[in-house]
């Protein structure tokens, strides 16, 4: 196990070794590290099917093995999907916790992807003025991105992640074993964030991701079972190294600017200025990573037209995304029923409420190569320039 520290969180990054009892490791770390009268596991319906019973059993086993521990373990299952990341779901969960008599010493364990992590994290941030939180990310996206950095939030009809808080988890348990049940499209979704992270900070990692695409990605798809949900365990070793590198980079960036006060943290938003706007117009048809994949291509094109990035680097970025079955142009969303929404005006409107903006000026992270950025933070880009790239 490799341990990284990001803000107040200990991030435990496990190897993909199938003989390692990761559930027991999680249970021991939580119960011995964060003594409490009550542990609450929150997960969604999909994840519950695969991973809930075994985590519950591991927690009970640790409690039963120690006569001095009499904590109770309870479980709350929420619906799956981005549409449930709302103030209403948060209120429902809070009311349930109050009725269940959960007190301020409760430790909340978010078992799931970024939707569960963001929502449950926000509940933990405000329940009785905040309770301790642990993340057990089960999607690639949650492992490399959403569980790291302390941001928690819910969506509103006007925009994603508009109401939230900073509430770093005490522990984040990153075990690639959970990915065995994740559908290939969701793995690709997380690869978009992995590729983004390499693109802003690490040229060697970028080259490795690009050059292994044929080996690892095609292999994933060749071995998946008829239901399309099973990933060969041996392939997890490849992913594990990308996961560890991504977490190291994101932790560095977050530790240097925890609350986005000096602007350097917004580097992790490469692809997200345009990507978030696309995502909000296509929801629920496009996934976050798919929208930011296209956002990265368009924002990299802005960097090309400003003379920071070469056209051949833009092509390499596109080829890499394509190799992981990610979209690279808005035309790739043509089959979505909401694709006609993707007009320049609507996209600019959505970008106008981006939290990164400086007043009305929009900000975009400009690459200077595949592995570095033109500035130490996002750059102000004129609307006309963004519009021209979108319309092209």
Contact present, 385 and 321 (Cβ < 8 Å): no
Work out the number of other CB atoms within 10 angstroms of the CB of residue 190: 30
Applying CB under 6 A, which of residues 56, 118, 260, 299 lies at the interface with ligand NAD? Answer: 118
Of 64, 68, 88, 129, the active-site residue reads: 129
Give the separation between CA 125 and CA 153, rounded to whole angstroms: 10
Query: Among 11-19, 44-52, 61-69, 348-356, which window interacts with ligand NAD (CB under 6 A)?
Result: 44-52
How many CA atoms does the CB half-sphere of 264 hold within 13 Å?
Answer: 14
**Beta carbon of residue 155, minimum distance to ligand NAD (angstroms, whole number):** 7
Catalytic residue among 135, 177, 235, 276: 276
Q: Catalytic: 250?
A: yes
With binding defined as CB under 6 A, does residue 47 bind ligand NAD? Answer: yes
Q: Which H/E stretch holds residue 330?
A: none
* β-bridge pairing 171-174 and 362-364: unpaired
Residue 180: count other Cβ atoms within 10 Å of its Cβ.
17
Among the residues of 48-181, which ranges form H helices? 53-64, 87-99, 114-126, 140-141
Binding ligand NAD (rule: CB under 6 A), the pick from 29, 30, 36, 114 is 114
For this structure, is 285 an active site residue? no
Query: Catalytic residue at 185?
Result: no
Q: Which of 11, 16, 107, 115 binds ligand NAD (CB under 6 A)?
A: 115
Beta-carbon contacts of 247 under 8 Å, excluding residues fewer than 6 positions away, are 4, 6, 11, 13, 143, 144, 148, 174
Cα angle: 347, vertex 348, 351; to 5 degrees: 90
Hey, which residues between 158 and 197 contact ligand NAD (CB under 6 A)? Answer: 160-161, 178, 181-182, 186, 189
DSSP 378: P
Contact status: 44 vs ligand NAD (CB under 6 A): yes
46 binds ligand NAD (CB under 6 A): yes
Cβ-based nearer residue to ligand NAD, 137 or 386: 137
> Which residue numbers are catalytic?
129, 151, 193, 250, 260, 265, 269, 272, 276, 288
In the complex, which residues of this chain contact ligand NAD (CB under 6 A)? 44, 46-47, 50, 80-82, 85, 112-116, 118, 138-139, 141-142, 145-146, 149, 151, 160-161, 178, 181-182, 186, 189, 288
């Amino acid at each position: 196990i490799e341990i990284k520290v990001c803000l107040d969180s200990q991030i435990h990054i496990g190897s993909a070794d199938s003989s390692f009892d990761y559930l027991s490791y999680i249970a021991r770390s939580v119960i011995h590290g964060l003594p409490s009268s009550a542990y609450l596991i929150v997960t969604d319906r999909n994840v519950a099917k695969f991973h809930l019973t075994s985590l519950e059993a591991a927690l009970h086993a640790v409690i039963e093995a120690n006569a001095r521990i009499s904590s109770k373990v309870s479980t709350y299952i929420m619906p799956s999907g981005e549409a449930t990341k709302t103030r209403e779901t948060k209120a429902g969960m809070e009311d349930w916790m109050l009725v269940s008599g959960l007190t301020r010493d409760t430790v909340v364990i978010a078992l799931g992807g970024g939707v569960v992590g963001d929502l449950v994290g926000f509940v933990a941030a405000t329940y009785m003025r905040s309770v301790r939180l642990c993340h057990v990310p089960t999607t690639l996206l949650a492992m490399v991105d959403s569980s790291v950095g302390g941001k928690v939030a819910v969506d509103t009809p006007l925009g994603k992640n508009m109401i939230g808080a900073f509430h770093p988890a005490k522990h984040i348990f990153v075990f690639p074993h959970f990915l065995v049940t994740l559908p290939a499209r969701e793995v690709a979704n997380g690869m978009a964030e992995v590729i983004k992270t390499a693109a802003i900070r690490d040229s060697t990692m970028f080259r490795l991701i690009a050059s292994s695409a044929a080996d690892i990605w095609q292999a994933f798809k060749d071995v998946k079972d008829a239901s399309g949900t099973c990933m060969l365990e041996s392939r997890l070793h490849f992913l594990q190294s990308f996961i560890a590198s991504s977490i190291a980079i994101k932790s560095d960036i977050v530790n240097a600017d925890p609350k986005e006060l000096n602007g350097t943290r917004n580097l992790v938003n490469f692809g997200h200025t345009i990507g978030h706007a696309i995502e909000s117009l296509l929801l629920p048809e496009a996934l976050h990573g798919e929208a930011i994949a296209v956002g990265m291509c368009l924002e990299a094109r802005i960097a090309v037209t400003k003379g920071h990035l070469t056209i051949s680097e833009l092509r390499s970025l596109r080829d890499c995304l394509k190799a992981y079955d990610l979209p690279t142009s808005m035309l790739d969303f043509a089959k979505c029923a909401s694709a006609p929404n993707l007009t320049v005006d609507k996209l600019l409107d959505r970008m106008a409420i981006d939290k990164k903006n400086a007043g009305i000026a929009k900000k975009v992270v400009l690459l200077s190569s595949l592995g570095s950025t033109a500035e130490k933070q996002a750059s102000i880009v004129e609307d006309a320039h963004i519009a021209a790239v979108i319309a092209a």
